[in-house]
A = this chain, B = another copy of it.
Amino acid sequence: MNALLKEVRHNPIFWLLAVVPVVFTAAKLEPEAHSLLFVLSVLAIVPLAALLSHATESVAARTGDAAGGLLNATLGNLTELVIALAALRAGQYTLVKASIAGAIVTNTLFMLGASFLLGGLKHHVQEYNRVSARMQAALLFLATIALLVPSAVIEADSAPGAAFTQKLSLGLAVLLIVAYGLGMLFSLKTHRELFASAQHTDDGEAPSPIGVALATLAGVTVLVALVSEIFVESVQKAAEEFGMTPAFVGFIVVALVGGAAEMASAFSGARKNRLDLSVGIALGSASQIALFVAPVLVLLSYMIGPTPMDLQLWPGAVVMVLIATLTAALVTNGGRSAWFVGVLVLMVYLIFAMTLYLLPPRVA
C-alpha cells in the first residue's frame, strides 16, 4: 500500500482520481448531461488507466518472470479492452472497430512520433537497437496485415455478403489468437533476449505486495468498467454536441485516453535516451491490439453483444492502419532518429485526425 500511496502522492496524474466519484455522482444526478459526463469520464479513465498499468506491473514483478511477462502481455491493453467491451455490450460496433483501428494508429504514429520528437528535442541524434526494432516492426506489420487482409480483399471484391464476412471473421479470430499465443511463447520463452529492454518499465522501486496489487488490479478494473459504461453512453450524444464524428471519437479520443499510461512510459523512456523502450512499448502494444484485443472482442461478441461482430473495417480505416504500419516499419528501419522524424510522423497522425474530424458522419 505504501508504495502505491507514495506513487499516487508523487505523480500529478493520480490527482485526477478525485474525478472518479464525481463521474458517478454526476451520472446519477444528471443522466442527460452528455457532454459533461463525456468530459468527466475521460478525465476519470486517464488516472485509472495509469493505476491499472501500475498494478499490473506490481503483480507481474511479484509472480516471477514467466507468469509476470504473460500478465503484462495480456493486461497491457486492459483499459482499451474494457472500454471496447462496454461499447460491445451497447452494440456500438462502429465505436468498437474505430477504437481497434485507432489504437493501432495512435500507438504507431502518435506514441512513436511524440517519443521521437520529445527525445529528439533533448538529444541530437538518437540511436537504438535496430535489430530488435526491425523484428518488432516486422511482427507488427504481419499482425496488422493479418487483421486487415479480409477487409482489403472484401473491399476490392465488392462486398460478397454478410455470411461470408462473419465466417471469415470467426476463423480469423481463432487464427490471430493462436498466433498471439505463439508470439508469447516466442517473446517470453524461446527468444526473450530480443525483447529484453522493453519488458521492465518501472524504475527500480519496490513493487507493492502481491495481495494489495491483486486487489488494486481487480478493483480498478471494475472502476474502469463502470466509468467506461458512462463514457460509452455519453460519447455518441456528446460527440454530436462537440461536432465530432463517431469515427473521430473512436479513432482519436478513445485511443488517446486508453493509451495514456503507456504513452507516459514511452515518452519518459525517450527523454532518457532509451528509445528501445519507447519503440518496444509502441510497436508491442499495437501488435497486441491486432493479435489479441481485436479477436477477443469478436469472440466475445457472440456471448455478450446483441449480434456477432465481424472484423471488417471501413475502407478509410484500412488505408490509415496500413499507412501507419508501413510508416512505423520504414521509420524504425535505420535505428536512428532525430526530432524532425518525430514531427513528420506526428504530422501524418494530425492529418488523419483532421480528415476524421472533417469527414461527414454518415461515412463512418
Contacts and interface: CB of A to CB of B under 8 A. Distances in A.
Interface of A: 124-125, 131, 134-135, 137-139, 141-143, 145-146, 149-150, 152-153, 155-158, 160-161, 164, 167-168, 171-172, 175, 179, 182-183, 185-187, 190-191, 194, 314-316, 318-320, 323, 326-327, 329-331, 333-334, 336, 338-341, 343-345, 347-348, 350-352, 354-355, 358-360, 362-364
A327 B145 contact: yes
Given A149-B323, A175-B354, A182-B343, 8 more contacts: A138-B330, A138-B344, A142-B347, A143-B344, A157-B359, A160-B360, A160-B363, A167-B358
A67 to B, nearest CB: 20
Contact of A179 (B319, B343, B362): B343
Contacts of A344: 138-139, 142-143, 146, 179
Nearest to A323: B145
Contacts of A155: 156
Nearest to A190: B339
A143 B345 CA distance: 9
Contacts of A153: 316, 319-320, 355, 359
Nearest to A165: B358
A170 to B, nearest CB: 10
B331 A330 contact: no
Contacts of A350: 175
Nearest to A338: B191
B175 A330 contact: no
A336 B157 contact: no
A146 B355 CA distance: 11
B160 A347 contact: no
Contact of A146 (B124, B164, B329, B347): B347
Contact of A157 (B158, B194, B314): B314
Nearest to A134: B334
Given A150-B351, A175-B347, A351-B175, A334 B138 contact: yes
